Chains A and B, each alone.
Chain A
Amino acid sequence: MALSTHRTTTALLRHLTPAISYLRHISTDSTSTITVETSVPFTGHKIDPPSRSVDTTAQELMSFFRDMALMRRMEIAADSLYKAKLIRGFCHLYDGQEAVAVGMEAAITRKDCIITAYRDHCIFLGRGGTLLESFSELMGRKDGCSKGKGGSMHFYKKEGGFYGGHGIVGAQIPLGCGLAFAQKYKNDENVTFTLYGDGAANQGQLFEALNMAALWDLPAILVCENNHYGMGTAEWRAAKSPAYYKRGDYVPGLKVDGMDALAVKQACRFAKEHALTNGPIILEMDTYRYHGHSMSDPGSTYRTRDEISGVRQERDPIERVRKLLLAYDIANEKELKDIEKEARKQVDEAIAKAKESPLPEPSELFTNVYVKGYGVESFGADRKEIRAALP
Chain B
Amino acid sequence: MFGIISHKLVASTAGGSPGQPILRAAVLAMMSNYSTATKQIMVREALNSALDEEMAADPTVFLMGEEVGEYEGAYKVSKGLLRKYGPQRVVDTPITEAGFTGIGVGASCHGLRPIVEFMTFNFAMQAIDHIINSAAKTNYMSAGNINVPIVFRGPNGPAAGVGAQHSQCYAAWYSSCPGLKVLAPYSSEDARGLLKTAIRDPDPVVFLENELLYGESFPVSDEVLDSSFCLPIGKAKIEKEGKDVTITAFSRMVGYALKAAEILEKEDLEAEVINLRSIRPLDRSLINNSVRKTNRLVTVEEGFPQHGVGAEICASVVEENFNYLDAPVERISGADAPMPYAANLERLALPQVEDVVRAARRACYRSVPTATTA
Contact = CB atoms under 8 A, between A and B. Distances in A.
A376 B96 contact: no
A154 interface: yes
B142 A154 contact: yes
B130 A154 contact: no
A131 interface: no
A208 B129 contact: no
Contacts of B314: none
* Interface core residue of A180, A182, A183, A370 (most chain B CB under 10 Å): A370
Given A182-B110, A371-B144, A372-B202, A208 B281 contact: no
Given A208-B100, A212-B100, A371-B202, A149 B141 contact: yes
A209 B99 contact: yes
Contacts of B102: 171, 173-175, 177-178, 205, 209
A166 interface: yes
* Interface core residue of A113, A176, A182 (most chain B CB under 10 Å): A182
B203 A212 contact: no
Interface stretch (B132-140, B243-251, B268-276, B299-307): B132-140
Interface string B6-19: 00000000000000
A159 to B, nearest CB: 8
Interface in A132-175: 145-150, 154, 156-158, 163-168, 171, 173-175
Nearest to B200: A372
Given A176-B106, A185-B62, A171 B130 contact: yes
Contact of B107 (A156, A166, A181, A367): A181
B97 to A, nearest CB: 8
A171 B134 contact: yes
B111 A182 contact: yes
Nearest to B89: A185
B106 A177 contact: yes
A369 B319 contact: no
Nearest to A174: B102
A331 to B, nearest CB: 37
B61 to A, nearest CB: 11
B104 to A, nearest CB: 6
Contacts of A168: 129, 133-134
Given A171-B129, A185-B62, A212-B93, A150 B110 contact: no
Nearest to B142: A156
B130 A368 contact: no
B110 A113 contact: yes
B178 interface: yes
Contacts of A157: 145
B234 interface: yes
Contacts of B141: 146, 149-150, 154, 156, 164-165
Interface residue tally on A, bucketed by range: 35 or more
A369 to B, nearest CB: 5
A164 B143 CA distance: 12
* Interface core residue of A154, A156, A166, A208 (most chain B CB under 10 Å): A208
B94 interface: yes
A154 B138 CA distance: 9
B109 A215 contact: no
B93 to A, nearest CB: 7
Interface residues of B, number: 48
Contacts of B100: 174, 208, 212
A182 B106 contact: yes
B94 A174 contact: no
Interface in B121-165: 129-130, 133-134, 138-147, 149
A378 interface: yes
Contacts of B107: 178-179, 181-182, 185
B110 A178 contact: yes
B106 A175 contact: yes
B316 to A, nearest CB: 9
A164 B142 contact: yes
Interface string A184-200: 01100000000000000
Contacts of B138: 164
B68 to A, nearest CB: 14
* Interface core residue of B62, B96, B203 (most chain A CB under 10 Å): B96
A183 B110 contact: yes
Interface string B27-65: 000000000000000000000000000000000001000
Given A181-B106, A182-B111, A374 B145 contact: no
A179 B109 contact: yes
Contact of B94 (A163, A212, A369, A384): A212
Contacts of A166: 134
A73 to B, nearest CB: 25
A383 interface: yes
* Interface core residue of B107, B145, B178 (most chain A CB under 10 Å): B145
Contact of B234 (A156, A165, A368, A374): A374
A385 to B, nearest CB: 12
Nearest to A370: B203
A211 interface: yes
A215 B94 contact: yes
B212 to A, nearest CB: 30
Interface string B64-107: 00000000000000000000000010010110101111111111
A166 B132 CA distance: 13
Contacts of A145: 143, 145
B347 interface: no
A209 B143 contact: no
A166 B146 CA distance: 13
Contacts of A181: 103, 106-107, 112
Interface of A: 113, 115, 145-150, 154, 156-158, 163-168, 171, 173-183, 185-186, 204-205, 207-209, 211-212, 215-216, 367-372, 374, 376-378, 383-384
12 contacts: A146-B143, A147-B143, A150-B141, A166-B134, A171-B102, A178-B109, A181-B106, A216-B91, A369-B178, A370-B202, A372-B202, A376-B234
Given A174-B99, A211-B96, 6 more contacts: A175-B102, A178-B107, A183-B110, A205-B102, A208-B96, A369-B178
